Amino acid sequence: MLPSYLHCFKLFFSLVILATSLDSALGHNISQRSSTFPEPKWGREVIAEMTHNNSGQRISKFHFSHVRPSSTVYEQNIAAQNLVRRVMGENTARHFNLTVDNTLTKSEKDAFHLLKKGGNIVHIVGNSVTAAVSGFHYYLKHYLNGHISWDYDQLELPDTYPDVDIYIKFPERFRLFQNVCTQSYSYVWWNWARWEREIDRWALNGFNLVYAGTGVEAVWTKVYRELGLSQREIADYFSGPAFLA
């Protein structure tokens, strides 16, 4: 039986997994620092500082300017176009030209530009791959009455695509999706085809920060072993995959 105080580690290490996932996916070191704690021994870049003003009010400052994709613009362009092919099919996807241009906006916040004037190609430029893909989805929903959801797609589109010239900037740089429970009551039973569809749906809706708890029990195991628990004690504690969250 695990000591009760160890249960508080669950949330902490879930957040560690999230930060690690961002680190791996975006190719940058991420860490946190508080004015009340020493600099972390791993010496990574600071993303959050918590201080107090003269009135005792807590002030949080977040630094994310160093967080950037590790993939090249060329790779992002291919990923964006392949997503459209998956959800729309090869023939329809030819009507959409997605491009990632990180000079589209000087702001850290994502933006996309939709342009079609005559012809049969909708040009979509985003400053990130998520922005470009969500720009495609915006046109699909608002100009073609298309719909992509968990279980049903409405992709019977008109023969003629409307002209458009619109620039949209996201109100926030990071758009968070998911909670810890979904990992167990839905995701744990999925195969790759279902996972790929879900990841595509996240991108289509502009989400670029997703809770990553898969495999967190491996981190807990390592910590519990370092705290002196036996492997049998740890194994008795862990439930099946439907209850880990």
Q: Residue ranges per domain, the chain?
A: 73-173, 175-245
> Which CATH number describes the domain made up of 73-173?
3.30.379.10
Structure token pair of residue 170: 């996201």
What mean pLDDT do residues 58-68 have?
68
Q: Name the strands in the sheet holding 122-126, side by side, starting at the edge strand that comes first in the sequence.
A: 96-100, 122-126, 111-116, 164-169
What pLDDT is stored for residue 190 in this prediction?
87
What pLDDT is stored for residue 47 in this prediction?
56
Tell whether pTM > 0.75: no
Answer with the residue of higher pLDDT: 152 or 59: 152
DSSP 161: P
DSSP 162: P
